[in-house]
Copies of this chain bind each other. A is one copy, B any other.
């Protein structure tokens, strides 16, 4: 951590965030993301100090395969969000960042217009493999941004892996970007991701591409139609847009507003948030429970010893597991 922020107490960060100090907000996010135990403790205190100022933003998850035009869409859509008087934070989760494949954020030109605007905060989150970790640090980053006054938060993922599921569990709305006529197979988007989407937006409906996009729209609308109705009562929408020509972007915004009003009035909005918070709680319990058990040095040694014995046909997985747990809890008595 840079020396400016070295050894600052929680209050320094809490006050800074509540005063919308972007440099301090950024540093607090770094603290939240850190695996270091002191940072984690500090992070907890910061969250505790700002928790009462959170929860007031709209949380929008956006995903799509590489090449679908996520950055240009967010650039264009972000302007629309600002036009409506919001403060916008864009959090980008990049599972590929530690691979040579190239990070979605490595490209310095991404959202370059949007990033220099007032009331905009853009923050890449190099995810560290661990999905539970993504959910936790992204969720807490949302809270920090909310406390700093950002009331519209976009969480962007790459649409190739499992981070979409994690993100759908901490957002109010899940938007899937698709290309027209990019071939079948739903462009590598898994059916499960389509099923999660509250809306599907076909990008790059520019010039000659427009007709193709409209055709794709009805195809996808049909495909979406086959999925089960969502719990919210909301019928997933299919739209087309051109980010470069700024066409259809306002409709996407309107549709999201419509969703928000619809789900707030039927109670689903708060019900979903409540369930998300409780799910995060239960998931953390499960993770920490395992962590507690497997980080016990005696358990570790016993498991290593068993590994070699597991080739024997008289290895008894169930009773061995039971005995090991009994010993663990006896020792912790």
Contacts and interface: CB of A to CB of B under 8 A. Distances in A.
Contact of A48 (B289, B316, B324): B316
Interface in A246-284: 270, 273-275, 277-278, 280-282, 284
Nearest to A307: B278
A325 B285 contact: yes
A320 B281 contact: yes
Contact of A284 (B310, B322, B332): B322
A321 B281 contact: yes
A292 interface: yes
A184 interface: no
Interface stretch (A49-57, A86-94, A216-224): A49-57
A288 interface: yes
B140 A318 contact: yes
A149 B273 CA distance: 56
Interface residues of A, number: 47
A210 to B, nearest CB: 31
Nearest to A318: B284
B51 A316 contact: yes
A319 B136 CA distance: 11
A280 B48 contact: no
B284 A290 contact: no
A189 to B, nearest CB: 14
A306 B324 contact: no
A293 interface: yes
A273 B311 CA distance: 7
Contacts of A320: 281
Nearest to A146: B313
Nearest to A280: B317
Contacts of A278: 306-307, 310, 315, 317
A282 to B, nearest CB: 8
Given A318-B136, A319-B48, A289 B288 contact: no
B51 A288 contact: no
Contacts of A310: 274-275, 277-278, 281
A136 B319 CA distance: 11
A55 to B, nearest CB: 3
Contact of A47 (B55, B274, B277, B316): B316
Interface of A: 44, 47-48, 51-52, 54-56, 136, 139-140, 270, 273-275, 277-278, 280-282, 284-286, 288-290, 292-293, 306-307, 310-311, 313-322, 324-325, 329, 332-333
